[in-house]
C-alpha cells in the first residue's frame, strides 16, 4: 500500500513562503534554494514550496484549490491559534466557527493557499 508523505505547494517566491511557514510552523526548513524550500514535519511528513515559475512540467493551478490542515488538541486551541495568527497579521478567510465536523478556522498563506486549523468533534 502506498502512503502519501509529501505535499508540494506552488508558490510565487519560495524564499518568502519559506519564511512564512517557518514562523507558522515554528521550525526551519531542511532545504532552501531560490526555487524550492522543504520542511520535514512530525512523523516525517514533508511540505515543499516550489516556485510556480520553474516547476516542470508547468503547473496551471494556483492557491486556493486545496488546504493544509492542522489538527489541535481542543476547541480552545482553535481559538488561541486564531488569536495568535490574527495578531501576527495572517489573512483570515474564516473566523472560528463550529461546523458539523468540529471547531475550525481558515487562514491564507502569501499565495492564497488555505491553511485550516481544526479540532474534530468527539475527540
Domains and CATH numbers, the chain: 6-51 (3.30.720.120), 67-120 (3.10.180.10)
**Can you give the pTM of this predicted structure?**
0.88
Q: What is the pLDDT of residues 62-116, one digit of tens each?
A: 787 789 999 999 999 999 999 999 999 999 999 999 999 999 999 999 999 999 9
pLDDT at position 61 is 76
SS3 state at 104: strand
Distance CA 39, CA 2 (A): 21
Residue of 38 and 121 predicted with greater confidence: 38
pLDDT of residue 15: 97
Q: Which residue has the cell 510552523?
A: 25
- pLDDT at residue 93, rounded to an integer: 96
What is the structure's pLDDT at 1?
64
> pLDDT tens digit string along 3-25?
889 999 999 999 999 999 999 99
Lookup: cell for 53: 515559475
pLDDT of residue 25: 95
Please give the Cα distance from 114 to 76 (Å, whole number). 21
Q: Which residue do the cell numbers 482553535 mark?
A: 78
pLDDT reported for residue 68: 92
The pLDDT of residue 122: 65
Using the Cα atoms of residue 55, residue 57, residue 63 and residue 68 in order, give the sign of their dihedral.
Answer: negative
Q: Which is it for the CA torsion 88, 91, 94, 95, positive or negative?
A: positive
Give the angle subtended at the CA of 7 by the CAs of 98 and 88, to the nearest 5°: 55
Q: What are phi and psi of 22, to 5 degrees?
A: -60, -45
- pLDDT-derived band at 118 (thresholds 50, 70, 90) equals very high
Amino acid at each position: 500500500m502506498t502512503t502519501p508523505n509529501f505535499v508540494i505547494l506552488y508558490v510565487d517566491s519560495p524564499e518568502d513562503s519559506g519564511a512564512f511557514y517557518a514562523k507558522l510552523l515554528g521550525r526551519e526548513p531542511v532545504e532552501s534554494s531560490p526555487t524550492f524550500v522543504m520542511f520535514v514535519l512530525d512523523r516525517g511528513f514533508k511540505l515543499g514550496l516550489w516556485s510556480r515559475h520553474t516547476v516542470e512540467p508547468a503547473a496551471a493551478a494556483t492557491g486556493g484549490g486545496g488546504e493544509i490542515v492542522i489538527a489541535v488538541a481542543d476547541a480552545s486551541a482553535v481559538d488561541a491559534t486564531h488569536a495568535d495568527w490574527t495578531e501576527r497579521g495572517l489573512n483570515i478567510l474564516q473566523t472560528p466557527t463550529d461546523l458539523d465536523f468540529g471547531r475550525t478556522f481558515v487562514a491564507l498563506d502569501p499565495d492564497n493557499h488555505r491553511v485550516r486549523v481544526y479540532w474534530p468533534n468527539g475527540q
